[in-house]
Amino acid sequence: METTFYQELTTNSLQGEVLSDACCEKILTGSEVELLPLLDAAYQVRKTYFRNEVQLHILNNAQNGYCPEDCGYCAQASSATTNIEAYPLKPDAEILEEAKRAYASGAYRYCIVMSGRGPSPKRVAHLAELIHTVKAHYPIEVCLSAGLIDVASAHILKEAGLDRLNHNLNTSEAHYPNICSTHTYQDRMETLQAAQTVGLACCSGVIVGMGEGTDDLIKVAKALRQLEVASLPVNFFLPISGTQLSEFDTETQRRMPTTLTPDYCLRVLCLYRFLNPQAEIRVAAGREHHLRSMEVMALYPANSMFVDGYLNAEGSAASRTLEMIRDAGFTVKTNAEDAGQLNQDEIEKRDVLLKELKVLRPRMES
């Protein structure tokens, strides 16, 4: 029997071959490439490494706003006019309480995220202590996102028990100046290299839809492959009002965000799976907004999701996400022994609502 294009994608990915740029482009934009067989091809790769499990992550936005950087996609940037509730680093007790809640709700990983260019040595020491306490109390994986970090800081955090450091590449080196002027792609790359030097696993991903071309997305996917990142969040740009990228600036001529369709978002997820077969691929911010009714299909290439929203944007309720996962025949991977029951309890029981007379016979109302 002749091997199809889709079967070749699965085989090549599983054999560790890098797809050519032309093949990647075909996946993203080729009208002859059908979505369902493409999703199935990506699912075969996902299933090989992650079976039907889904890892759930909960974000703690531990410090909101006050950021001197000007990332054009971010509501916390100095350049953004978004009306956010800024606050300095939350007290330790609050962060610990939220870690407890994340553990109890069945999250596999607890992500502590802080705004800012990068932590001072004093802040690194504080974070190390905090991470040590979380790990001592709850058997949950901890990931930290704290901006630019050097080897010495990475070492301290690793010693404290940090499991992963998050620092997204976000976009390609060529497109980077269009989304940020206060730091560079190279700065971000050096942070990831510092983490790798001390043996910290890296979480690094992309934001799709910031005016980049398909070539940029292909380059980032291949750069993340070279870095062998353990975890790869694929975000879809959320046009939060007041961020530079959502308001086209005629002076700087920043490019308008790309219009994203569910079909294109799913193709991107498939491409990232083929190029990073063993990475934990997370369908991250923008899942609900851009995938809409096709949201559940993301589970075929991706094996991880956030629950309870994102940094500055709300997501769907955890119960709805859990229901979607279970309805599609996937299971939640968890650290907590009793989380299966807890998760089950969270799924709402809905009564079937009967139509009222004014709906059944609207003309009788007048």
Residue written as tokens 């398909």?
A: 214
In the three-class reduction of DSSP (H, G, I as helix; E, B as strand; rest coil), residue 13 is classed as: helix
**Segment interacting with ligand SF4, rule: CB under 6 A, options 10-18, 64-72, 129-137, 277-285:** 64-72
Opening angle at CA 76, ends 74 and 78, nearest 5: 100
SS (H, E, C) 34-45: CHHHHHHHHHHH
Count of other CB atoms within 10 angstroms of residue 104: 14
- Compute the distance between CA of residue 75 and CA of residue 173 in angstroms, rounded to an integer: 22
Contact between 233 and ligand SF4 by CB under 6 A: the answer reads no
Q: Closest by alpha carbon to 69, among 309, 244, 250, 285?
A: 244
Closest separation between CB of residue 363 and ligand SF4, Å? 55
Single-letter amino acid code for the residue at 2: E
Among 76, 204, 243, 304, the residue binding ligand SF4 under the rule CB under 6 A is 76
Tokens of 337: 């022994």
Cβ distance to ligand SF4 smaller for residue 296 or 313: 313
Is the distance from CB of 238 to CB of 289 less than 8 angstroms?
Answer: yes
Contact between 147 and ligand SF4 by CB under 6 A: the answer reads yes
Cβ distance to ligand SF4 smaller for residue 74 or 271: 74
Beta strands in 214-270 (DSSP E): 231-236
Contact between 69 and ligand SF4 by CB under 6 A: the answer reads yes
Which 8-state DSSP code applies to residue 230? Answer: S
Residues whose CB falls within 8 Å of the CB of residue 364, separated by 6 or more in sequence, listed in order: 357, 358
Contact between 165 and ligand SF4 by CB under 6 A: the answer reads no
Closest separation between CB of residue 19 and ligand SF4, Å? 30
- Compute the distance between CA of residue 280 and CA of residue 204 in angstroms, rounded to an integer: 10
Closest separation between CB of residue 77 and ligand SF4, Å? 4
Cβ distance to ligand SF4 smaller for residue 7 or 182: 182
Contact between 77 and ligand SF4 by CB under 6 A: the answer reads yes
Cβ distance to ligand SF4 smaller for residue 147 or 257: 147
Closest separation between CB of residue 287 and ligand SF4, Å? 19
Among 19, 24, 33, 71, the residue binding ligand SF4 under the rule CB under 6 A is 71
Contact between 74 and ligand SF4 by CB under 6 A: the answer reads yes
Cβ distance to ligand SF4 smaller for residue 84 or 162: 84
Which 8-state DSSP code applies to residue 307? Answer: E
Residue written as tokens 């009564």?
A: 351
Closest separation between CB of residue 332 and ligand SF4, Å? 29
Contact between 207 and ligand SF4 by CB under 6 A: the answer reads no
Contact between 67 and ligand SF4 by CB under 6 A: the answer reads yes
Contact between 72 and ligand SF4 by CB under 6 A: the answer reads no
Closest separation between CB of residue 69 and ligand SF4, Å? 4
Among 13, 105, 115, 214, the residue binding ligand SF4 under the rule CB under 6 A is 115
Is the distance from CB of 343 to CB of 111 less than 8 angstroms?
Answer: no
Report the site for ligand SF4 in 117-146 (rule: CB under 6 A).
117
Number of residues that bind ligand SF4 (CB under 6 A): 9
- Compute the distance between CA of residue 146 and CA of residue 165 in angstroms, rounded to an integer: 8
In the three-class reduction of DSSP (H, G, I as helix; E, B as strand; rest coil), residue 217 is classed as: helix
- Site for ligand SF4, rule CB under 6 A: 67, 69, 71, 74, 76-77, 115, 117, 147
